[in-house]
Amino acid sequence: MAKPTAKSTKTTAILKNGRWPAFGAGLVALLVGMPIISLIVMAAGGDLQSLIALSSTVLPKAAWTTLLLLIGLAIIAGSIGAISAWLTCFFEFPGRKIFTWALMLPLAVPTYISAYTFTEFFTFTGPVQSLVRQIGGFGSAREYWFPEIRSLGGAVLVLSLVLYPYVYLSVRALFVVQGRRGIEAGVMLGANQLRILTSILLPLARPALALGIILVMMEAINDIGAMEYLGVQTLTFSIFSIWVNQGDAAGSAQLALVLLFLMLTLIGFERWIRRKQRFNDTRQSSQLLFERIKLSGWKAFGATILCLVPVGLGFGVPFIILGNYASRYLTSGFSQRMIEALTTSIILAAIAALITVVLAVFLSYAVRIRGTKFTGFMVRFASVGYALPGTIIALGIFLPIANFDNFVDAYMRQWFGISTGLLITGSGATLIYAYVVRFMAVAEGSIDAGFKKISPNLDDAAKCFGYSRWQTLRIILLPLLKPAIITAALLVFIDSLKELSATLMLRPFGIETTAIYIHDLASRGRIEQAGIASLLLVLVGIIPVIILSRSMASDKD
């Protein structure tokens, strides 16, 4: 019998002493966090002259453009989201109950699809400029001025109309819990509604407002498809361009670290904003005492219009234009290529959802049974992928896995005379890995919330009956977690279907997803032919909106 090594003895001791949750969480976190480690190694191995060249050419313009984009989004998306939440939460006007959930519909539209449709909507032959020419009696574009949608301002408008629901959701959730007390106090002091909004409600909502705006910024930074189509060179698009067009992986990694620093700064700022904020849930008492203010006349009309415009532009315009495309190409739209791309997307997204949910259950359960600081830190580190743009994740994944593939191929050639080829990078495995890293936070957050609704007394009771931790999880906890698991799986599945940034950089030759199919046609000026595929993505994206709507049912609208 072989004598056990010191390494195997140490591993056995870890498992017997009950430290396996922390040990396992550390392994998962290391696996999920590998792209960041790889990125740092790649950047350090790059040429200093390349960094200097990037700092004097690409970086200043891209950084300035990114900064202006984020500032514009903070102002416009923040304003739309906060005002919508204020109106639907505290006032009664025609359509309010519908707007409560309809204001979330733009989340169903991927940003790149929104960019395609808005370009069509505002182009010279589109309905807006056609109406302008008809009203003004103009014969050509030279006779009047119209803002260019393919610009930085156009990007701010397009992304704001799609991403403002993040602000709406976070601010409205806080208003439901705390805002009604604030408005009651303001009324008792004799302040008008505008004064209450600016002096009481917005300061009260500052943490939620900051959270929503930062989520908007993260999604905007992650975008490649919309920025490429609208001609806006952000840091993310520059990373993609340097890697794909110039073949400079080290330079891309160095630029990606700058973007990573920006993302971590945003996250740190959001947590700093909330560091001393403490709120008590007074929702039940507030609902008993508070009655929404009923608006009439021009005020009711104005409130309806203010809620209708973002829904109509953010969701209505893309939906109508895509529906028009789909009807015009109904017979040719269902091509074999589109069906294969859709099938590939469904398979990859389903596998990614399964793996992500399994790992998320393990991580959340590890925290539940061994809630040490180390375990909590490992779980948070494993969930950092959602804060990273897909380009950074792709860049951090590709080279180490490609090197591993080459190593295995060389080894098999040398010892067995067999060429294995690109086992991982030549298949969809890299895409699945990227999806798991990117959306781990989505699954872990949902499942962790599910665990927190289950009393720890059940674990203690199961232990008294002789159940092991695995039996407790399998027989008792997992059936109770079924709603949270289904929600997490759906969210990861749908996000993976729509993901473009990492997919665009990691897809192997011969593998095409629906997002790539749409992007390819749009980049060749044939977005109309992708109308059916785009419409399918939008319709599928409505599923998480329904989930979010159901989660807000406690507001008793």
Which domain CATH number covers 258?
A: 1.10.3720.10
Give pLDDT, residue 181: 62
Nearest to 172 by CA among 236, 364, 164, 459: 164
Tell me which DSSP letter residue 524 carries. T
In a domain, 424, yes or no: yes
Q: In tens digits, what is the pLDDT along the chain, a chain of 557 residues?
A: 445 455 445 444 444 444 666 677 778 777 777 787 787 777 777 666 666 776 777 778 888 898 899 999 999 999 999 999 888 888 888 988 899 889 988 988 888 899 989 988 888 888 888 888 888 888 777 878 888 888 999 999 999 999 999 899 888 877 776 656 666 565 566 566 666 666 667 777 777 788 788 888 888 888 888 888 888 888 887 877 777 676 667 777 777 777 777 777 776 776 666 555 554 444 444 444 457 788 888 888 999 999 999 999 999 999 999 888 888 877 766 778 888 888 888 999 999 999 999 988 888 888 887 767 777 777 777 777 776 778 778 878 877 888 787 888 788 887 877 777 667 777 788 889 889 988 888 888 888 878 887 887 887 787 887 777 778 888 888 888 888 888 888 888 888 888 888 888 888 777 888 888 888 888 887 888 888 888 888 888 888 777 767 666 544 45
**345, 480: one domain:** yes
Residue 441 confidence (pLDDT): 81
Paired with 92 in beta bridges are: 294
Asked if residues 342 and 536 have their Cβ atoms less than 8 Å apart, the reply is yes
Residue 307 CB neighbour total at 10 angstroms? 24
Final residue before a domain boundary, out of 270, 293, 325: 325
- 290 and 368 housed in the same domain: no
Are 133 and 213 found together in one domain?
A: yes
Q: 380 and 470, same structural domain?
A: yes
* One domain, residues 25 and 92: no
Listed residues 276, 299, 325: the one ending a domain: 325
Nearest to 209 by CA among 68, 79, 107: 79
Q: Is residue 249 located within the same domain as residue 354?
A: no
Residue 408 forms part of a structural domain: yes
Q: Are residues 204 and 350 in the same domain?
A: no
Tell me whether residue 530 is in a domain.
Answer: no
Structural domain of 503:
20-45+338-523
Whether 99 and 188 share a structural domain? yes
315 in the same domain as 363: no
Query: What pLDDT shows up at residue 414?
Result: 79
548: in domain: no
Question: 551 in a domain, yes or no?
Answer: no
Q: Is residue 3 part of a domain?
A: no
Assigned domain for 330 exists: no
The model carries a pTM of: 0.80
Determine the longest span between alpha carbons in the chain, in angstroms. Answer: 95
Whether 547 is in a domain gets the answer no
State whether 224 and 357 are in the same domain.
no
Number of structural domains, the chain? 2
H or E segment to which residue 293 belongs: strand 293-294
- The string of DSSP letters for 76-134 reads HHHHHHHHHHHHHHHEE-TTHHHHHHHTTGGGGS-HHHHHHHHHHHHSTTSHHHHHHHH
CA distance 129 to 296: 34
What pLDDT, on the 0 to 100 scale, is given for residue 311? 94
Domain end residue (candidates: 273, 296, 325): 325
**Residues 31 and 141 both lie in one domain:** no
Q: List Cβ<8 Å contacts ≥24 apart for 199-205.
A: 201/86, 201/175, 202/82, 204/174, 204/178, 204/179, 205/82, 205/85, 205/171, 205/174, 205/175, 205/179
316 in the same domain as 352: no
